[in-house]
Structure 1
């Protein structure tokens, strides 16, 4: 049996195609328009001369240059931007409950998990709501991101208290960082610790 043919005309051009092929092309076009495209990180072209020293404010980026972070997994190389100031003391939340926010390096993914879980997570929520210089993509840093802050510019943090990371250690605790001596420990999720948001800056 011959396939049903459809004649397509555009100006002086005429094309005959099987009806099934036309349907497949039309369906693929519609799906391509409806399906959300995967959003790649926004990359900004920045000259090296425009990059401030580590520990110094980065104009227009909402905070301080916390240093370069090498690519890891599906997260490209980027600069860690540390908010200029703390945003208070907050509980981690979810005491006695397991969370999927277990990454030691990806605070953004951790924060997204925490903000979408049924249990309230005050520290993560406070960071996700933070805005500076038009940027609204801050998050609660992971344990390794806090450690990078201590390695690169500990002086921009308070020296007499612990800061929450977004990295869960157990159902009862999560990792924290003390910038006075560089100590990392686990704190009770129901405790209120200091909170400092961070964000990522992807550049060419």
Structure 2
């Protein structure tokens, strides 16, 4: 199980800046979905190229969360099928941080909306969200509204993400 930091970190960077010591490019705060605490989302500085999602024709229905990529990635790595994109993300390390994972569909969408220059407009990017036994969710960022493709697609890209939970001291309050 991936463990996440739960303490405030001074000096939160601006969206799009590399967060020194935290291993990634700051994408912003993911809102509260499904009763989870909001968190800072960081995008890996590197990406996997020509990687498939894996598990073609195998159902990984425990990895269908649209918002929890960490949980999806854990399920994919424990299910017994080969999942190269999830494995790459889980193995990614930067600045001593080792809690990276393949983003869920919503996390990928938020990172792409916040950091469009970090994604090639001509490439397919995997999420950790399964769509069916033969397809997984992801995105290309050109004008085609494609939301899933075959898990066996060999030329996909992957970016890893990590989260740092927002504490009450991170939020701005007005008096």
Pick the TM interval, shorter chain: 0.7 to 0.9
Cα 1:182–1:67 change in 2 (3 A) is farther
Residue of 115, 124, 149 corresponding to 1:153: 115
Q: Does 1:82 align with 2:32?
A: no
Q: Deviations over 1:6-56 (max 9, x none)?
A: xxxxxxxxxxxxxxxxxxxxxxxxxxxxxxxxx984322224xx1111111
TM-score calculated relative to the size of structure 2:
0.87
Change (3 A) 1:77 1:93: same
Q: Deviations over 1:43-85 (max 9, x none)?
A: 22224xx111111111111010011012223531111100012
How far residue 101 of structure 1 moved from its aligned partner, in angstroms, is: 0.5
Do 1:108 and 1:141's aligned partners in 2 also have CA atoms closer than 8 Å? yes
1:150 and 1:182 in contact (8 A); partners too? no
1:178 to 140, 145, 159: 140
1:106 shift after superposition: 0.5
> Which of 1 and 2 has higher RCO (CA within 8 Å, sep 6+)?
2
Residue 165 of structure 1 corresponds to 127
Structure 2: unaligned runs, 5 residues or longer:
168-175
For residues 46 and 119 of structure 1, the distance between their equivalents in structure 2, rounded to whole angstroms, comes to: 37
Q: Pairwise mapping of residues 13-162 of structure 1 onto structure 2 (< 5 A)?
A: 41-47=4-10, 50-99=11-60, 100-162=62-124
